[in-house]
A and B are shown apart, each in its own frame.
Chain A
Amino acid sequence: MNIVVCVKQVPDTATERKLRSDDKTLDRDAADGVVNELDEYAVEEALRLKEAHGGEVTVLSMGPAKATETIRKALAMGADKAVHLHDDALHGSDALGTSYAISQALKKIGFDLVILGSESTDARTGMLAAMLAERLGAPQLTLARKVEVEPKGGTIRVERITDYGYDKVEASLPAVVSVVEKINEPRYPSFKGIMAAKKKPVETLGVADAEIAADQVGLASSWSEVVDFAAAPPRAAGTVIKDEGDGGAKAAEFLASKKFI
């Protein structure tokens, strides 16, 4: 089975994240880049499926030069090879542009299964998997907390989390899956894995290589724009008291003062 995992480099949520004042896009230089957490769950699931059914795991990441750090991490976890979609023309692409560029790269790579995280910590659109399914005409098996594949019959079953519990969903391969963090516990790269990752092949694709129409990607071609932005006014400092036996009563007084009770 040929599995492609989409992995995104995002600014570390522990550091201060900013938008650039010049073009109002995410300032990717201001913060350390890390693997989007949920994408580690996606990589883990891909590795488990490969271990169970055989095949190959390819990491696909669209991002600037420094995204190679993220790609190496996924390779160190155990993925076999990687494709880095990297071109200045891609800078500033919105969700539609990104989904188009990634779908073109996926067509070039070929796949039985594409696995994504269900959301990135920076853009937080939670839309990419659905958009890819739409563009690729492949079944959408998103928000999965459990994935089962029968490669022989070419079928896949997932449990999709819902507002009321979960849905059991069935489809035929090839398919697009996104995972939630309930699905597994991602492994840490071993020392051996880290060393091996250095030698694994990473192919760089530009816009022309992936047959991406330049007028469909990048900031200038985006379908949406940031009008303006500002730091949120800080929350007014609250009152924190130490419980002296009347903490609950004090909290009730606070709620009463705010007319909640």
Chain B
Amino acid sequence: MSEILVLVEHVDGDVKKVTFELLTLARSLGTPAAVWAGPGYSDAAKARLAEYGAEKIYVAAADEIGDYVVAPKAEVLAHLVAERSPAAVFVAATGEGKEIAGRLAVKTDSGVISDAVGVGEGFVAEQSIFGGGVNVRSRVTKGTPIITVRPNSTAPVAAAAAGAEEKVEVALSDAARAARIVERVVQEKGARPELTEAAIVVSGGRGVGSGENFAIIEKLADTLGAAVGASRAATDAGWYPHQFQVGQTGKTVSPQLYIAAGISGAIQHRAGMQTSKTIVVINKDAEAPLFEIADFGVVGDLFQVVPQLTEEIEKRK
């Protein structure tokens, strides 16, 4: 079977869950080969990738790759596409992942599909568009299919494979060195699961009222082992850091369970969460549009309902 390249998402040397999802998906359609681009590669990373089915691991670990915006990673992938003629390339549909895929598509004169929620036989991708209103199946017709896949679209399943390493040396072009990262600013991360990876997300909006009040959202999240999210109103007010924003210009999440408290459900917010499997909404306004897509809704004051919910969950543990 032909190789499918999976670009590894990693932070501080840790492989992110979405990579295991992509390897699992790739295994159903070909032979998964992981591509590590940037510093931080280790035996631990290798072991994890092999555990989830990477037959091969291409390693381009030069520090330089991490020093510039997006372009170096696209060059590593383009090099491998030229050398290995893979059947397809899978990249996580994160902000950066989509940009890498876009540049790779231009470099390799290949079609690209954005934000797939599934990929089937013949690399036909499923997408959910127009705020979840329409399901589309699409495919690449020229070049090597490049598909960005939304995190949480596939359940990761371990399946041990060889994980044979192969070093990749790519001489970066001047163009790839044009936008230099001079500083990385890391804002509070906390011990909670990553927003896009979490099985459960609890989000708060303007109704939460203040940064301090987000403690009740966090408390509910912690009893459920969930990630915390926020609406734009809450991040703009400075109540929660922007990287926790869910929505069109924030993260797209697709958890098993999404709980929204004090969020009205503007189209831009829905764009980031409407593919959640189960949606629970708490809002004091019965007319809030988010109730339209709720599986369960409580019309009430979140300062009553959320603590009671937290307490009930604690009791049932």
State the A residues within 8 Å of B (CB).
13-14, 16-19, 37-38, 94-96, 99, 118-119, 121-131, 133-135, 137-143, 145, 159-172, 175, 180-182, 222-232, 235-236, 238-243, 245-252, 254-256, 258, 260-261
Contacts and interface: CB of A to CB of B under 8 A. Distances in A.
Interface of B: 11, 69-71, 74, 94-96, 98-103, 105-107, 109-115, 124, 128-143, 175, 178-187, 189, 194, 200, 224, 232, 236, 241-243, 248-249, 256-257, 267-268, 271, 278-282, 286, 291, 293-301, 304-313, 316-317
Contacts of B306: 248
B129 to A, nearest CB: 7
Contacts of A19: 134, 136
A252 B70 contact: no
Contact of B181 (A127, A169, A245): A169
14 contacts: A94-B111, A119-B249, A127-B101, A134-B107, A137-B175, A142-B69, A163-B94, A165-B187, A240-B296, A241-B298, A248-B309, A248-B310, A251-B305, A256-B316
A13 to B, nearest CB: 5
A31 to B, nearest CB: 10
B224 to A, nearest CB: 7
Contacts of A180: 249
Contacts of A171: 178-180
A135 B106 CA distance: 7
A131 B106 contact: yes
Given A223-B105, A226-B136, A126 B141 contact: no
Nearest to B195: A163
Nearest to A236: B295
A243 B297 contact: no
A-side binding surface: helix, strand, loop or mixed? Answer: mixed
A205 to B, nearest CB: 21
A75 to B, nearest CB: 25
A258 B305 CA distance: 19
Contacts of A37: 268
B105 A131 contact: yes
Contacts of A252: 309, 312-313, 316
A134 B71 CA distance: 8
A225 to B, nearest CB: 5
B214 to A, nearest CB: 18
Nearest to A221: B142
A154 to B, nearest CB: 13
A169 B107 contact: no
